[in-house]
Homo-oligomer: A and B are copies of this chain.
Amino acid sequence: MAHDKAAVRKILDKIKAEGRTSLTAPEGKLVCDAYGIAVPKEGVATSAAEAAKIASAMGFPVVLKIVSPEILHKTEAGGVLVGVKSAEEAEKGFATIMANAKKYDAKANLLGVQVQQMLAGGQEVIIGAVTDPSFGKLVAFGLGGILVEVLKDITFRLAPATREDALSMLDGIAAAEILKGVRGSDPVHREALAALIQHVSELISDFPDITEMDLNPVFATKSGAIAADVRIVVDFSPAPARYRPSHDDIVRDMNRIMKPNAVAVIGASTEEGKIGNSVMKNLINGGYKGEIYPINPSAPEVMGRKAYKSVKDVPGVIDVAVFAIPAKFVAQALVEVGEKKIPGAVLIPSGFAETGNVAGQQEIVDIGRKYGVRLMGPNIYGFYYTPKNLCATFCTAYDVKGKAALSSQSGGIGMAIIGFSRSAKMGVSAIVGLGNKSDIDEDDLLTFFEQDDNTTIIAQHCEDLKDGRAFAEVAKRVSKKKPIVMLKAGRTSMGARAASSHTGALAGNDKIYEDVLKQSGVIRARSLRDLLEFARAIPILPTPKGENVLIITGAGGSGVLLSDACVDNNLSLMAMPPDLDAAFRKFIPPFGAAGNPVDITGGEPPKTYQNTVRLGLEDPRIHALILGYWHTIITPPMVFATKMVEVVDEMRAKGFEKPIVASLAGDVQVEEAAEYLFAHGIPAYPYTTETPVAVLGAKYKWARGAGLI
């Protein structure tokens, strides 16, 4: 349905002219009418027949009210009839009211009878909208009433929302079941409710001036959804436009920055312990094959390379300049970088916004914009890009190559990433520090890694998103191709929010992140360790082709815990068809249990694991396997591990490939077995039943979000 933008614009212009910050109820109704947002219908009848006609058109029950400038106390005058249920009743009611009114005040001017749709019953819900500093316009949906306020059961989507977004919101609240009709109550009209959400989201998107909005309550019934009360808040001071380079510009510049052919180190030093010395060492010892240009005003050479006083003195093209000089010298050097037309500056130095030096940071941002230099940082450890053997950091060199690209807002978390990656032998394509994010941020990285063939998964730690909307837009696209995992820190420090609407007050900042990340197909990690484990395991797992997960376990106890973990991670334990059950039973002892989990029991030889896993890989109805290994003398850990890899290889050669994860219960030898399995494509973990299922769950979450299952 086409919305009447002009009508809304006219109302908003009037409010702006009058210097008001909110709409009156009649203005709200007009705005709703313009955007197909259902509010109670009303009309004035001047005859009984007309009353019946109007009432029939809007549907029963209706309320009839006398319209007369002289009659202020309508009820006292017998001028109100509620719960009018039929055309006949409406006709009679018109007559009754007119007669009562005449009797009440013979001199009164009776203009007619107002017929108004009567709202009652159904489920009370709230639909609203807020403007978030990072994500911009968001539409909200929740159940109405006091209890929901206490439970904060509300969900958000970026506006404008599609029909699918809106429908997903109905399932996005904890009490979703209630909308489907419980204890004999009617289900709500889902399409009508979704349309209301969608129209609100379109309204607030079309008019940036509308900052907050409440439809509260909305009565949702089996036949429709109508907003009983409308509240709209406006703010005519325009938010400053955000700087956003074009997609192609980002790709071009980020490719030169991340995969440079020549790197300048501003502040390159021969002095042990200096950052400029560590960066030089890492570049050289890391095995970077491109040109390295030390920039140093006094030294003729650094670590055997000719040094230059300024980047401007370097004869060749430079792709990226790594800054290893104090904050106060950065601006001047950055101008030279700009003049040299270097597309990227890696700003290791601290001493900017994080220490209160906001002006200093703004100065370098302005220089960057002026010269078209993209800034990474400041206040970072730098970055690694392993396909180029590039360690543009002052930390230790990192060399376990792989497909996972990680980034962190904080240096400390960056060091944890490096340590874990090295310790767990996680194959990494890049580790990037984003620090103050004066310019380059998460969505720039997503845009680069999207087209980077050396990267298959992107894992990011952040404390905030400077431009949540840009991130969401890019993430929505990229996540369809490559899994994105995010650890959003600060999720529990919701802070105080000034909000004048009800929806605004319910909008805990973290709930917005939660919902928008989900809407964008991003897998949210709940902990640092999850971020790291997901980054390590997800790229190794093949993508599942369906939802049927099967547990095969030697330990019944592990089977129970693995089942718990499946429920926790939204995985569907396959209901075992009788023929498959019989097929599994052939391989396991009579007192073992088929069904799901398949419990092969503890005393079995390697053959039993092999036979059941082979069957699990072969049968097309099964889409993923979770193994529960129990250390026994008859099947020691490394025997289990090597046999499992054999079966998987054998079946892969036959064209059967499915995600498999393993939980290993046993003595310390299971650690070596886990490492072997991991190195051969089976994420395996000792002493935990939760982690293997969590990583499989994350893979599934991604596959579902990307529309692959």
Contact = CB atoms under 8 A, between A and B. Distances in A.
A668 B557 contact: no
Contacts of A633: 273, 278
B419 A528 contact: no
Given A461-B557, A490-B564, A591-B355, A668 B423 contact: yes
A422 B669 CA distance: 11
A415 B557 CA distance: 11
A412 B665 CA distance: 6
A683 interface: no
Contact of A149 (B182, B411, B568): B182
B528 A687 contact: yes
A144 B355 CA distance: 53
Interface string A478-493: 0000000001011111
A697 interface: no
A100 interface: no
Contacts of A350: 603
Nearest to A278: B633
B602 A558 contact: no
Contacts of A6: none
Given A410-B558, A667-B418, A667-B419, A528 B273 contact: no
A57 interface: no
Contacts of A415: 555, 630-631, 665-667
A109 interface: no
Interface string A459-479: 001010000000000000000
Contact of A591 (B143, B356, B667): B356
Contacts of A686: 416, 419-420, 423
Closest 4 CB pairs between A and B? Answer: A410-B557, A412-B555, A355-B591, A492-B567
Interface in A534-567: 553-558, 560-561, 563-565, 567
Contacts of A461: 557
A303 interface: no
A594 to B, nearest CB: 14
Given A150-B182, A415-B666, A527-B689, A557 B492 contact: no
Interface in A645-685: 664-671
A365 interface: no
Contacts of A520: none
Interface stretch (A21-29, A170-178, A192-200): A170-178
A554 to B, nearest CB: 7
Given A149-B183, A415-B631, A416-B666, A492 B410 contact: no
8 contacts: A146-B185, A273-B633, A410-B556, A419-B668, A419-B669, A422-B668, A461-B557, A490-B560
Given A149-B182, A412-B553, A461-B557, 6 more contacts: A147-B178, A412-B554, A420-B686, A423-B668, A423-B671, A527-B690
B555 A410 contact: yes
A419 B183 contact: no
B667 A395 contact: yes
Nearest to A558: B412
A188 interface: no
A603 B394 CA distance: 13
A628 B557 CA distance: 36
A339 interface: no
A409 B558 CA distance: 11
Contact of A396 (B183, B490, B667): B667
Contact of A354 (B356, B395, B591, B690): B591
Contact of A665 (B413, B563, B670): B413
A151 interface: yes
B564 A493 contact: yes
A420 B687 contact: yes
A532 interface: yes
Contacts of A667: 395-396, 415, 418-419, 422
Contacts of A409: 557
Nearest to A685: B529
A236 to B, nearest CB: 31
A509 interface: no
A205 interface: no
Nearest to A566: B492
Interface string A385-423: 000000000011000000000001111110110111011
A691 interface: yes
Interface string A419-453: 11011000000000000000000000000000000
Interface string A573-612: 0000000000000000001000000000011000000000
A688 interface: yes
The residue among A356, A529, A567 with the most chain B CB atoms within 10 A of its own CB is: A529
A603 to B, nearest CB: 8
Contact of A151 (B175, B351, B396, B558): B175
A141 B561 CA distance: 29
A628 B416 CA distance: 11
A149 to B, nearest CB: 7
A563 B493 contact: yes
B146 A183 contact: yes
Contacts of A561: 413, 487, 489, 528
Nearest to A690: B527
Contact of A528 (B489, B669, B690): B690
A492 B564 contact: yes
A174 B149 contact: no
A667 B561 CA distance: 33
Contacts of A670: 419
Nearest to A176: B150
Contacts of A688: 527-529
Contacts of A558: 410, 412-413, 416
Interface in A495-531: 527-529
Interface string A362-395: 0000000000000000000000000000000001
Interface in A103-140: none
Contacts of A420: 686-687
A419 B666 contact: yes
A422 B687 CA distance: 11
Nearest to A591: B355
B493 A556 contact: no
A555 B411 contact: yes
